[in-house]
Amino acid sequence: MNKLFYPIAAVLILAGSAFTFIAAQNYQIADGYNIAFSGGEIGGIFKTLKGAIAFDDANPASSKFDVTVDVASINTGNALQNKHAKSDEWFDAAKYPVIHFVSQKVVKAGAGYQVTGDLDMHGVKKSITFPFTFRKGGNGGTFNATFNVNRNDFKLGKPGGEVEDQFKLEVSVPVTK
């Protein structure tokens, strides 16, 4: 009897633990995403987003976001402003071609979630935390977030002046499995 007990116990422990390590679902970024920014009279969008998203709404701690935005894809609706935004006075797209975000922690927060991670923009890496929601639909869903970023934290433009320090970011990212 003892000879059978240990192998059976080991199999039961392994089988039980297999269900506790379910990985987050990998998602592909779908067309139709929107990355909008606004600050006073300045606003626009970034047109190019790429990255890897792993998300599990039942176990947010297993989730991971690693996304990049192409700085040269900025569109303010004004060709002169676009050129200025890409110049070394602002984003310096030639030297810093991407804005990169990598999550470190995802937690459930009220009716949504909260992510903490490193935002690397204009050569400055800073930890930020912001809320987001995920709405399932069909073969995927949509992530939505609205949060503020202080441009001075990332040395964008000259401090003070005519441009607001706080920029509001509104992000909507549809994904598919």
From first to last of its 177 residues, the chain has per-residue pLDDT tens of 455 444 454 444 444 444 444 578 999 999 999 999 999 888 999 999 999 999 999 999 999 999 999 999 999 999 999 999 999 999 999 999 999 999 999 999 999 999 999 999 999 999 999 999 999 998 999 999 999 999 999 999 888 777 899 999 999 999 999
| 67 within a domain of the structure (yes/no) | yes
- Give the CATH number of the domain where residue 166 resides: 2.40.128.110
Q: Is 14 left (phi over 0), alpha (psi -120 to 50) or beta?
A: alpha
What total of structural domains would you count in the chain? 1
Asked, for residue 8, whether it belongs to a domain, the answer is no
Scan for tokens 């089988």, then name that residue. 15
Element (H, E) at 115: strand 112-121
Residue 81 lies in a domain: yes
Instruction: Indicate whether 137 belongs to any domain.
Output: yes
Give me the half-sphere count of Cα atoms (radius 13 Å) on the Cβ side of residue 20: 5
Domain interval for residue 50? 23-176
Residue of 133, 132, 170 whose CA lies nearest to 149: 170
Q: Look at residue 40 in the predicted model and tell me its pLDDT.
A: 85
Nearest to 147 by CA among 64, 39, 65: 39
Task: Please give the pLDDT value at position 8.
Answer: 52
* Burial of residue 115 (number of CB atoms within 10 Å: 0-12, 13-18, 19+): buried
Listed in sequence order, the residues at least 6 apart from 143 whose beta carbon sits closer than 8 Å to its beta carbon are: 53, 55, 132, 133, 134, 171, 172, 173, 175
Q: Is residue 3 in some structural domain?
A: no
Residue 51 lies in a domain: yes
Residue 40 maps to a domain: yes
Name the residue type at position 64.
K
5 CB-near residues (< 8 Å, 6+ apart)? none
Q: Is 22 helix (H, G, I), strand (E, B) or coil?
A: coil
- Chain position carrying tokens 């006073």: 40
- 105 in Cβ contact with 61 (< 8 Å): yes
**Do the domain assignments include residue 54?**
yes
